[in-house]
Amino acid sequence: MFSLIFKNIWARRKRNGWLFAELVAVAIVSWVIFDPVVVGLYVRSLPTGYDADRLCRISLGRYYEGASEFSAEADSTLFEDIDRIMYQARNLNDVESSTQLLGFAYPGSMGNSSSAYVNPNDTTKLLRVTNMFYKPRTDFFKTFGIQPTEGYTVEQLEEAALPAQSTLLSEDGAKYLYGNNRSDMRLSIPPQYLDMVPEWQDKVVTGIFKPFKMNNGNRAIPVAFYKFNPDDNGGTDVPEQTYILVRVKEGLNLDRFIDDFNQNGIKQLHSGNLYARSIMKFSSLMEERDTFYLNAMRMRYVLAAFFLISLCLGVIGTFWLQTKVRKEDIGVMLSFGGTPNTIMRMLMGEGVVLCTIAVIIGCLIYMQYGISEGLVNDYMWGGARADSPMVADSWIDSFPLHFLLVSGIIWVIMMVVVLIGIYIPANKISHIQPTEALRDE
């Protein structure tokens, strides 16, 4: 059978040549279309690293001078008032834990702050991390559900940033900078940046936690947590950017909790010049944060769907016509004792061979572009920034695995389309009478 298939392909090489060229071109274009879609779908399927479904964010309001509720004395205790409101929220029915979101950079937030660091014992590796602040002993890690790595506990993470010049680092960043040697974990400013921060002192890594995703459009990237210090972070203006994060008890309906809070709980959260203003699901906040990525992905989906429809119509139509014009050949085979099953296997085998070789050549051609420019692995679709290498256990960052996986997906898609284009007309003409097939011969 294989010998006959290759003989038929060679005998019809002029017709098959154009068909083969079309398949090669389709394979190359398929890489451009499907690679970002496959990567994007994979990244969105990755867990966030914490449970956002049971989280709610409470916004705080503030009374200013001129308001009837304003107290000049209370205006000097804003941060103490934030603590009191946090504990008030923790004491609400159905609340499991609460913490404070300080500033503009926290998991799922719209803002971010980054710095570049090196290991002072090995300055050849540059790591760019996202900086975040938290207030120790406020159940920050417990409320978010961020897990410590082996050797640490959640309680230790809550207090790890208390010593001066200390920081917490995500496992991906620690693995990249220190490997398995965790005896001397320090973060230093790269030599080329020392002029910008002459007062810099090395940070000591006192805790390591498991990586988490900032949003659904990205994979986890290295993160460093520092102790929040009001004197260094905006003073009394910071409460305007402060929220209370609460985790409701497991099994509760979040919509019902929000309704109850708006009716009763919101009245209980106030201290000094601060008060609870509104509440929203944290998952809704993340959806807002993901709008840019979702819109970009939707455009990719639409483009991929349009291309897939065009591919089906074009390739199926081409193979349909190519198969139908072989009606006389089929008649000859039937007259010499060929069976419908044999004819079907032969025709579909030719399609498999042509499609496989074309996909291999098309993918190899695209691979030359991939070697020079890289496969889809940019920041939007979940890859690493150039100056912040990922600690990659993912197939995305492995060129061979990435190339083979997406090539395999393209081969499957094209193979299904080609076989559909062959099977329907081949099934029909393989069951006709030889005299009917040879009537015009």
Residues in the chain: 441
pLDDT for 333-388, tens place per residue? 655 555 667 777 777 788 888 889 999 999 999 999 888 877 876 544 444 443 44
Answer for the pair 135, 110: CB distance below 8 angstroms, yes or no: no
Whether residue 77 has pLDDT greater than 90: no
Answer for the pair 257, 249: CB distance below 8 angstroms, yes or no: no
pLDDT band at 236 (very low <50, low <70, confident <90, very high): very low
Rg (CA), the chain: 31
Query: How far from each other are the two terminal CA atoms of the chain, in whole angstroms?
Result: 26
Q: Select the more confidently predicted residue: 429 or 270.
A: 270
Between CA 196 and CA 106 the distance in angstroms is 25
Sign of CA dihedral 375, 380, 385, 389: negative
Q: What is the mean pLDDT of the chain?
A: 80
Q: So what's the pLDDT on residue 39?
A: 86
Q: b/e string for 46-72 if b means 16 or more Cβ within 10 A? A: eebbbebebbbbbebebbeeeeeeeee
Whether residue 166 has pLDDT greater than 60: yes
The structure's pTM equals 0.77
